Amino acid sequence: MSTSTHPPLVTKKTARARLPPEVRRQQILEAALEKFSALGFAASSIAAIARNAGMSKANLYVHFTSKDAIFEAMLTQWLRPSDEVPTSQPGQSPDELVDSLIDNLYHRLTPRAVALIRLLIVEAHRVPHLVERWFEDSLVPARIAQQSRVDKLVSTGSLSVTALTQDFNFTTIPLLYAAVTQMLLPEEQACVEFEIIKEAHRNLLHQLIKPVPGAPPNDRK
């Protein structure tokens, strides 16, 4: 009845496009990321994802074997470790180093990254192997790389030895605080907090890195 009462309406269904599998897979994973990160796994229906991806439900099952498979493929895809490691420029002063570190860290904390971390927290129990892999393939190497860079700077005298340089990861933890803030606060408030945390973080690093005035600097100027 409802169909017969309406005039054509047509909806421009674009009639059964036939696309290469990789394209379809990408469409699906994009749509899945959007839905899953907005609503979580259980609350995201296959119907909604399909609609979002612009195809039929059944077609999802042509490209993936189940909802879980989509979820896993999606996480696997988006959690792939970002390769680009910003190498510190040779002639930077410690202050410039801090600034570039902060800017880089917070630049990477995109909404999508936040959504992914959130999803990881939400659904950790569902895909523990992925979480573990993410830890080991992304986080731990990143930490090690960063620490070794710091160590090098210290050994060249660019940085003074402090409590922070020994456990440098802790200096990046406020980033996590920023991320969690983005997850919890509503849009607008989140933006404000983001900047506050970022600048406080920057200040903190600037101060911590500075050798205590009047104190003998770390063995050598």
The residues that touch DNA, with contacts defined as CB under 7 A, are 13, 15-21, 24, 44-48, 55-59, 61-63, 65-68
Residue closer to DNA, measured from CB, 50 or 197: 50
Q: Residues in contact with its own copies, total (CB under 8 A)?
A: 49
The closest of 26, 25, 31, 30 to 46, measured between CA atoms, is: 31
Q: Which of 9, 84, 163, 188 binds its own copies (CB under 8 A)?
A: 163
Going by the DSSP 8-state scheme, the letter that residue 67 receives in this structure is H
Which of 18, 220 has the CB closer to DNA? Answer: 18
Q: Which residues of 76-85 are buried (b: 16+ CB within 10 A; e: fewer)?
A: eebbeeeeee
CA angle 116-36-81, nearest 5°?
25
Residue 98 binding target from its own copies, DNA, none, CB below 5 to 8 Å by type:
none
> Residue 19 interacts with its own copies (CB under 8 A)?
no
Among 49, 116, 120, 150, binds its own copies (CB under 8 A): 120
Residues 173-192 that bind its own copies (CB under 8 A): 173-174, 176-177, 180, 183-186
What CA–CA distance (Å, rounded) separates 46 from 60? 8
C-alpha to C-alpha distance for 112 and 36, rounded to whole angstroms: 12
Q: Please give the span between the terminal C-alpha atoms of the chain, in angstroms, as a whole number.
A: 85
| Contact of residue 57 among its own copies, DNA, none (CB under 5-8 Å per partner type) | DNA
Task: Provide the minimum distance between the beta carbon of 82 and DNA in the complex, in angstroms, as a whole number.
Answer: 29
